[in-house]
Amino acid sequence: MLLLIVWTQIPFILTIYHSFRRFNLLNPERQGFVAFENFSSLLTDPVFWTSIQNTLVLVGSVLFFTVVIGLFLAVLFYQDFPGRALARTLVISPFFVMPVVSALIWKNMLMHPVYGLFAWVAENLGQRPIDWLAVYPMQSIVLMVSWQWIPFAMLLILTGLQSLSKEQLEAAKIDGANAWQEFRYVIVPHLAQTLSVVVMLETIFLLTIFAEIYASTSGGPGLATTTLPYLIYLKAFGEYRIGVAAAGAVFAVILANIVAVFVLRMIGRNLQGGRT
């Protein structure tokens, strides 16, 4: 317990502390209190706004794809069919792949403009191969990250589906509901809570996506895929500007907290519900 307090709260307080100071690891003598200078230098830096925008685009699109495809797959795998366990095992596998490895697979073996599989397919179809990560950097990252997180959405939605009572579905059938109505009026409302948990948890995880970007595009080309976490990493360990990085970190925490408040409220309600 004490360990947790020491390791989670104190570092953040130190982050805030550093965000008000000038501190460059390359130039450790020059330090001192600079009030809001780090914040203002960050806020006036167009790179910062690009990174915020990239972060939101990434999180938003991945959320969209994972929830839509995850829902589709969950409903599909809710049906009973021969070999379901095996097929399901295959579908969820991407989630367990180390993010770095996933980045390497996509970058080198699939999207590579010369030796990649996509390039070969494109050539066979008479198209010119595309250097995916250079021409469509953000789209490629979204594809990569979605691939990893679809199984997560699917697993959670599937678990949610399994708590749906068969009687409810049968009652709907007796009332003459067709498949679509069944889906729309029975399944979707039942899943409302599950879906909101999926969206919120994913948002929290996705806001901190780092390894995929580090290993595939390194934030480039230019700034096309520099997200807030990556920018902080660059400021701290590329430029050694600890103060500015700390200011960026404060923003990242604020962003995550906005989401976290909703999640906590949700889980808190669930906890209370579970105890009665």
Q: Which of residues 17-76 bind another protein (CB under 8 A)?
A: 17-18, 73, 76
Size of the residue set binding another protein (CB under 8 A): 100
Task: Tell me how far, at minimum, the Cβ of 182 lies from another protein, in Å.
Answer: 14
Does 89 interact with another protein (rule: CB under 8 A)?
A: yes
Does 105 interact with another protein (rule: CB under 8 A)?
A: yes
Does 15 interact with another protein (rule: CB under 8 A)?
A: yes
Question: Scanning residues 167 to 206, which ones bind another protein (CB under 8 A)?
Answer: 193-194, 197, 201, 204
Measured CA to CA, the distance from residue 211 to residue 235 in angstroms comes to 16
Stretch 121-150: interaction string toward another protein, x if CB under 8 A? ---x----------------------x--x
Span from 44-52, 105-113, 134-142, 168-176 in contact with another protein (CB under 8 A): 105-113
Measured CA to CA, the distance from residue 187 to residue 4 in angstroms comes to 40
Q: Which of 106, 133, 153, 226 binds another protein (CB under 8 A)?
A: 106
Does 118 interact with another protein (rule: CB under 8 A)?
A: no
The distance of Cα 150 from the centroid of its chain, to the nearest Å, equals 11
Q: Which of 27, 40, 64, 93 binds another protein (CB under 8 A)?
A: 93
Task: Tell me how far, at minimum, the Cβ of 38 lies from another protein, in Å.
Answer: 12
* DSSP per residue, the chain: -HHHIIIIIHHHHHHHHHHTEE-BTTSTTS-EE-TTHHHHHHHT-HHHHHHHHHHHHHHHHHHHHHHHHHHHHHHHHHS--TTHHHHHHHHHGGGGS-HHHHHHIIIIIIS-TTT-HHHHHHHHTTPPP--HHHHSHHHHHHHHHHHHHHHHHHHHHHHHHHTS-HHHHHHHHHTT--HHHHIIIIIHHHHHHHHHHHHHHHHHHHHT--HHHHHHTTT-STTTT--HHHHHHIIIIIS-BHHHHHHHHHHHHHHHHHHHHHHHHHHHHHHHHHH-
Task: Tell me how far, at minimum, the Cβ of 35 lies from another protein, in Å.
Answer: 18
Q: Which of 211, 220, 223, 224 binds another protein (CB under 8 A)?
A: 211
Does 233 interact with another protein (rule: CB under 8 A)?
A: yes
Does 272 interact with another protein (rule: CB under 8 A)?
A: yes
Stretch 249-268: interaction string toward another protein, x if CB under 8 A? xx-xx--xx-xx--xx-xxx
Task: Tell me how far, at minimum, the Cβ of 71 lies from another protein, in Å.
Answer: 13
